[in-house]
């Protein structure tokens, strides 16, 4: 059994704002607008924030030079 008083082993505090209308995020995911990946605790909790975006893309096999501002399906 996990002791809730012990708290998490690792944590990250992030501040920001994102807002979507009802169903907007689901629609965008359905339109293939977002790159998604399974969670990777080593990446999430790594304090090297300067290279995190590039490493996340590399984990998906994505070359950032090939990204486009347009979305859709190939």
Residues 6+ positions from 51 with CB-CB distance below 8 Å: none
Whose structure tokens read 């059994």?
Answer: 1
- Domain borders along the chain are 37-62
Residue 31 has pLDDT above 80, yes or no: yes
Residue 13 has pLDDT above 90, yes or no: no
**Residues 35-49 pLDDT 10s:** 899 999 999 999 999
CB 47 within 8 A of CB 55: no
> For residue 24, what are its two tokens?
């907007």
pLDDT of residue 1: 67
Residue 2 has pLDDT above 80, yes or no: no
**Residues 18-28 pLDDT 10s:** 888 999 999 99
CA 44 – CA 20 distance, rounded (Å): 23
pLDDT of residue 50: 94
Least Cα distance to 73 among 44, 31, 39, 22 occurs for 31
């Amino acid at each position: 059994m996990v002791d809730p008083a012990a708290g998490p082993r690792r944590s990250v505090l992030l501040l920001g704002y994102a807002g979507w209308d009802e169903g907007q995020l689901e629609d965008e995911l359905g339109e293939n607008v977002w790159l998604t990946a399974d969670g990777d605790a080593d990446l999430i909790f790594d304090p090297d924030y300067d290279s995190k975006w590039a490493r996340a893309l590399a984990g998906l096999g994505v070359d950032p030079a090939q990204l486009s501002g347009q979305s859709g399906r190939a």
